[in-house]
Amino acid sequence: MLFLLLSVDTTLIDSLWETARLWRAGVNVKKVDSARNAIISMGGEAVRYVILRYLPEDDHLQTRAIRDICLKVPDTCAPAVGEVLLSRDTIAQKNALYVASEVTMPSLEPVLLRLLKRKKDKRWISRTLRALYKSGSKNACRVVPKYANHPYEYVRMRALMLVGKYGCKEHKELLWKGLNDPYFMVRDAARDGLVKVKFTADEVIENLTKVRRIEIFKLLSERCPDRDLLFKVKPTNPFERYWYGKIKCE
């Protein structure tokens, strides 16, 4: 249970929320913005009340409205979102993870790492990794090895995305391995990670017989560290020739 010990006029906040929660489109934009800004102007306790009171409800429109408020005042939102994340209510947790995956709130990192240890279900792990990716984490690299080989493809994808996002060069080998994954989204995450952490021509040659050749050409089309690779790595079929034609070396 989430406890609301507040010194704000909750009746007024509830009244404003009836407008603030609406879909922000068309004729609603001005009045929705006005109501949301009014809640924010009432201070941190008002924002906290809205999060603890309404984020646990099964209403995606409300969750999106809270997301939009948090985009404006992330530091104000973070403590309350963290409280909801640690609740035992699965709907509340799911909604809080959605907000955490949309808004950068670095202070949530310890909560997310704690939640990650708790969760066993593949979908919950994926949601938590997505939020960790957004959080601005300083310790995300340490969870990569545990999840890079997970049976669920979305968990593998999100683990490899952390490598590129946070420059986990110590896990570069997992990115090369990811280029052989049967799911394209995992291969895309691995390729994006390699481009971000950078790789050498020697690494390309070393992995030429270990990785799907077409993935090598796709990788080089995004970053080619040495022009000599154009002569060392030649296409053998029309698909490889397509990507080979896109390579521009440094």
Q: Report residue 142's pLDDT band, with 50, 70 and 90 as the boundaries.
A: very high
Q: Is the pLDDT assigned to residue 132 strictly greater than 50?
A: yes
User: What pLDDT, in 10s, does the model give residues 205-238?
Assistant: 999 999 999 999 999 999 999 999 999 999 999 9
> Tokens 């691995």 map to which residue?
190
Answer whether residue 6 shows pLDDT above 80: no
- Written as six digits, the tokens of 113 are 């790492």
* pLDDT range class, residue 41, cuts 50, 70, 90: very high
**pLDDT score for 69:** 98
Q: So where are the chain's domains?
A: 1-103
**Six token digits for residue 200:** 């050498």
Measure the CA dihedral 139/140/143/149, to 10°. -160
Indicate if the pLDDT at residue 39 is higher than 90: yes
Alpha-carbon distance of 13 to 33, in angstroms, equals 14
DSSP state of 28: G
Give percent of the chain with pLDDT exceeding 70.
97
pLDDT surpassing 60 at residue 2? no
Q: What is the pLDDT of residues 168-193, one digit of tens each?
A: 999 999 999 999 999 999 999 999 99
Contact criterion met (CB below 8 Å) for 117 and 142: no
Closest CA to 38 of 8, 60, 58, 59: 8
Average pLDDT in the 184-204 region? 97
Q: What is the dihedral of CA 192, 100, 86, 10, to 10 degrees?
A: 180
What is the structure's pLDDT at 1?
45
* 174 CB-near residues (< 8 Å, 6+ apart): 144, 145, 148, 159, 160, 163, 190
Range list of H helices, the chain: 10-20, 29-41, 44-54, 60-72, 74-85, 90-102, 109-118, 122-135, 144-147, 153-166, 172-178, 184-197, 201-207, 213-222, 229-232, 238-244
* Amino acid identity for residue 99 in this structure: V
* pLDDT digits 0-9 by tens, 86-99: 998 999 999 999 99
Q: What is the pLDDT of residue 250?
A: 74
> What's the mean per-residue pLDDT of the chain?
95
**Is the model's pLDDT at 124 over the cut of 90?**
yes
Which of 147, 68, 77 shows the shortest CA–CA distance to 106?
77
3-state secondary structure of 224: strand
Q: Say which DSSP state 235 is in.
A: -
Give the Å distances, CA to CA, from 144 to 161, 164, 185, 210. 9, 11, 17, 21
Please give the average per-residue pLDDT across 115-137, as a whole number: 95
Q: Percent of the chain, pLDDT > 90? A: 94
Q: What is the largest CA-CA distance in the chain?
A: 72
